[in-house]
């Protein structure tokens, strides 16, 4: 009993010390020092605010048509000009942020959930289960991603929801592989052996110990994946396979602008700029998170 009491004190001290230099706090400290990462976070926050407060920011509704004001150049009344239906492009770009962020976030969330689950199962159980899942990942990665997405949407039918599903599916193997390799290394750790030795169930080990310890690479990869997902959604929209009219989706807006390049280039410039800036923001933030949280992933 006396021995136990002696051992308790140092454990508490260690826990307190760990709190003081928690890896998340340390990561945030490193992230804050990285100027580019902060710029990226600023851009992302800007677009999030734009999406959240769209009804307050946009001066017109997304479908407010005024045919007498078709293809007007940018002016005080219409900051980004108007499109071929006389709709305010600025308002449509602002509302478009909702669609792009929504698709980007939820498609990646879907990939993370399914990919992590498959990766954990493959890594933890090994053998034939791992064989099947890993081969499935190999096959999916053998397709150029946008091509696979096009194929999936061609089957499911063109719509924003189906584009989101397609993008989620094509990104599953990236997360699956990441988590699988993470599980393979964590599995060898002594605390997992200890957990097994005291009779902890597989599910508890997987979800209470292995998954929380795999969070860092998921967050980093997830941020970068949102950037790719936004571009992929816009690409599908551009090809007419994503959002359908009159949704103010940026890719679809670009596709519609093709016919008016000579007369009204502003119909093309602003939605494209919005896609590029959002993607740049997530890329910078993702790079910064990687350097701050998981420097080993750098190369």
In whole angstroms, the minimum distance from the beta carbon of 136 to other proteins comes to 7
In whole angstroms, the minimum distance from the beta carbon of 231 to other proteins comes to 5
In whole angstroms, the minimum distance from the beta carbon of 287 to other proteins comes to 9
Tell me whether residue 179 or residue 231 sits nearer to other proteins (CB atom): 231
Tell me whether residue 79 or residue 148 sits nearer to other proteins (CB atom): 148
> Residue 23 is encoded by which pair of tokens?
């890896």
**Peptide bond just before 159 cis, omega within 30 deg:** no
Contacts of residue 109, defined as CB under 8 A and 6 or more positions apart, other chains included, come to none
How far is Cα 84 from Cα 96, in angstroms, rounded to an integer? 17
Tell me whether residue 69 or residue 269 sits nearer to other proteins (CB atom): 269
Q: Are 254 and 268 in contact (CB under 8 A)?
A: yes
Distance of CA 250 to the CA centre of its chain: 17
- The residue count for the chain: 299
83, 99, 202, 209, 212 from 198: Cα distances, Å: 67, 48, 12, 14, 20
What is the C-alpha R_g of the chain?
A: 24
Tell me whether residue 200 or residue 280 sits nearer to other proteins (CB atom): 280
Tell me whether residue 165 or residue 192 sits nearer to other proteins (CB atom): 165
Q: Which helix (H) or strand (E) holds 215?
A: helix 215-238
In whole angstroms, the minimum distance from the beta carbon of 250 to other proteins comes to 9
Q: What is the DSSP letter of 207?
A: I
In whole angstroms, the minimum distance from the beta carbon of 93 to other proteins comes to 13
Tell me whether residue 153 or residue 179 sits nearer to other proteins (CB atom): 153
How far is Cα 249 from Cα 138, in angstroms, rounded to an integer? 32
Q: Are 176 and 218 in contact (CB under 8 A)?
A: no
How far is Cα 108 from Cα 106, in angstroms, rounded to an integer? 5
Tell me whether residue 10 or residue 157 sits nearer to other proteins (CB atom): 157
The residues binding other proteins (CB under 8 A) are: 36, 135-136, 138-140, 142-148, 150-151, 154-157, 227, 231, 234-235, 238-239, 241, 251, 254, 257-258, 261-262, 265, 268-269, 271-272, 275-276, 279-280, 283-284, 299
Tell me whether residue 14 or residue 139 sits nearer to other proteins (CB atom): 139
In whole angstroms, the minimum distance from the beta carbon of 176 to other proteins comes to 15
How far is Cα 263 from Cα 144, in angstroms, rounded to an integer? 35
In whole angstroms, the minimum distance from the beta carbon of 44 to other proteins comes to 12
In whole angstroms, the minimum distance from the beta carbon of 138 to other proteins comes to 5
Please count the other Cβ atoms lying within 10 Å of the Cβ belonging to residue 135: 10
* Burial grade of 50 (CB within 10 A; 0-12, 13-18, 19 or more): buried
């Amino acid at each position: 009993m006396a021995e136990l009491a002696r051992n308790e004190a140092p454990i508490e001290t260690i826990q307190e010390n760990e709190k003081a230099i928690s890896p998340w706090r340390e990561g945030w400290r490193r992230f804050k020092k990285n100027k580019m990462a902060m710029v990226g976070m600023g851009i992302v926050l800007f677009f999030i605010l734009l999406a959240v407060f769209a009804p307050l920011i946009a001066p017109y509704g997304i479908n407010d048509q005024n045919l007498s004001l078709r293809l007007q150049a940018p002016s005080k009344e219409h900051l980004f000009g108007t499109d071929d239906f006389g709709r305010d492009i600025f308002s449509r770009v602002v509302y478009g942020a909702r669609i792009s962020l929504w698709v980007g976030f939820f498609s990646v969330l879907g990939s993370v959930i399914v990919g992590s689950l498959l990766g954990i199962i493959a890594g933890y159980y090994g053998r034939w289960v791992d064989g099947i899942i890993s081969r499935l990942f190999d096959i999916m990665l053998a397709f150029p991603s946008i091509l696979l997405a096009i194929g999936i949407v061609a089957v499911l039918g063109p719509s924003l929801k189906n584009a989101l599903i397609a993008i989620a599916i094509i990104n599953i193997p990236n997360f699956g592989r990441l988590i699988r390799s993470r599980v393979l290394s964590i599995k060898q750790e002594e605390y997992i052996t200890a957990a097994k030795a005291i009779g902890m169930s597989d599910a508890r080990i997987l979800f209470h110990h292995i998954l929380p310890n795999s969070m860092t690479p998921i967050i980093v990869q997830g941020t970068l994946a949102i950037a790719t997902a936004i571009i992929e959604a816009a690409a599908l929209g551009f090809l007419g396979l994503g959002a359908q009219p009159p949704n103010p989706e940026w890719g679809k807006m670009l596709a519609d602008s093709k016919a008016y390049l000579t007369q009204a280039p502003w119909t093309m410039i602003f939605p494209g700029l919005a896609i590029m800036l959002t993607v740049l923001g997530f890329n910078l933030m993702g790079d910064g998170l990687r350097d701050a949280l998981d420097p080993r992933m750098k190369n």
